[in-house]
């Protein structure tokens, strides 16, 4: 025990050290430039209070926003061997997985739940953008298949909220195989007359858009969300043509018949409940 190091030193460093200010108290709206306090943003469902810009909502926040605490049972994802290709880029894929598991406290980029939405039972899948950009690998494919099977078995509607950068490159061709696999899961729902509702949120791109995300019986999109396959610049460079400003936005997709309903986040829960009641 040393009185100098144990008592005097911490006191001195506390005096000298700057007080830690919590970061990100203020959010800058990318659309209108206004500063919004994080509390106001949270109260307003992560939507800008001035211009209605929808900030990306984390999967956990979305679960809290949609479901009451006692009304959600998370279904564990199947255990799958990691890293089938022993892939390494700037980091080992295995290490990357470890890192994201620690950060998000989830096993992969899909949260599967059996829950009640305002007392209506549903099977719900939530893509988790915080986990490697919500990318779809084998674990996500398996989760969709599992969700579909439970929905069929229990005769419950299946709702998936998408938010993804597309296929998980670290799994190469295996990640691409999840596209037909998830399509087959949707087909299973169709054959059994199970309603399948997709909610497209910011952003939904790549292999996810090219598979189960576009096959909903009813497709809802959150206002202003980006939905597309390839990036806008890539398409522009390929076809050598200027594309409209709102290209690949929810509203543009609705005007062109790809989306049924565009909703403000505030209206999302009500819209889903209405649809579920109609489907009954």
| Of residues 217, 174, 170, 214, the one with CA closest to residue 192 | 217
Instruction: Answer yes or no whether residue 47 interacts with Zn ion by CB under 5 A.
Output: no
Neighbours of 188 (CB within 10 A): 17
Torsion of CA 150, 277, 275, 270, to 10 degrees: -110
The answer to whether 250 and 224 are in contact (CB under 8 A) is yes
8 makes contact with Zn ion (CB under 5 A): no
* Residue 51 touches Zn ion, criterion: CB under 5 A: yes
Residue range at the interface with Zn ion (CB under 5 A); choices 51-59, 154-162, 198-206, 234-242:
51-59
Number of residues that bind Zn ion (CB under 5 A): 7
Phi and psi (nearest 5°) for 31? -90, -55
- Return the residue of 32, 85, 234, 279 that touches Zn ion, per CB under 5 A: 32
Pairing of strands 26-28, 158-164: unpaired
We find the least distance from the C-beta atom of residue 153 to Zn ion, in angstroms, to be 44
Q: Min. distance of Cβ 239 from Zn ion in angstroms?
A: 32
**Does residue number 35 form part of the binding site for Zn ion (CB under 5 A)?**
no
| Burial group, residue 75, by CB count within 10 angstroms (0-12, 13-18, 19+) | middle
Place of tokens 């008592």: 7
48 near Zn ion, judged by CB under 5 A: yes
Cβ closer to Zn ion: 34 or 61? Answer: 34
Tell me: does residue 59 bind Zn ion (CB under 5 A): no
Nearer to Zn ion, 51 or 243 (CB): 51
Binding residues for Zn ion, rule: CB under 5 A, are: 29, 31-32, 48, 50-51, 53
């Amino acid at each position: 025990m040393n009185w100098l190091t144990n008592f005097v030193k911490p006191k001195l460093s506390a005096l000298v050290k700057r007080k830690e200010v919590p970061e990100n108290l203020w959010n800058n709206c990318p659309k209108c430039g206004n500063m919004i306090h994080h509390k106001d943003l949270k109260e307003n469902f992560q939507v800008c209070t001035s211009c209605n810009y929808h900030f990306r909502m984390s999967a956990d926040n979305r679960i809290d926003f949609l479901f009451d605490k006692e009304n959600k049972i998370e279904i564990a994802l199947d255990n799958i061997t990691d890293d089938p290709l022993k892939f390494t880029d700037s980091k080992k894929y295995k290490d990357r997985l470890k890192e994201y598991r620690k950060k998000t406290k989830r096993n992969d980029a899909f949260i599967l739940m059996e829950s009640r939405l305002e007392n209506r039972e549903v099977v719900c899948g939530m893509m988790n953008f915080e986990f490697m950009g919500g990318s779809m690998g084998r674990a996500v494919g398996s989760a969709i298949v599992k969700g579909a099977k439970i929905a069929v078995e229990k005769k419950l509607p299946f709702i998936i909220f998408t938010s993804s950068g597309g296929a998980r490159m670290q799994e190469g061709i295996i990640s691409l195989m999840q596209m037909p696999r998830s399509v087959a899961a949707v087909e299973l729902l169709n054959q059994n007359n199970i309603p399948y509702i997709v909610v497209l949120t910011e952003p939904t791109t790549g292999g996810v858009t090219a598979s189960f995300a576009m096959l909903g019986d009813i497709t809802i999109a959150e206002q202003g969300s980006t939905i597309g396959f390839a990036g806008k610049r890539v398409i522009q460079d390929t076809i050598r043509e200027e594309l409209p400003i709102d290209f690949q936005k929810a509203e543009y997709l609705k005007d062109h018949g790809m989306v049924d309903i565009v909703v403000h986040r505030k209206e999302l829960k009500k819209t889903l409940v209405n649809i579920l009641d109609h489907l009954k």
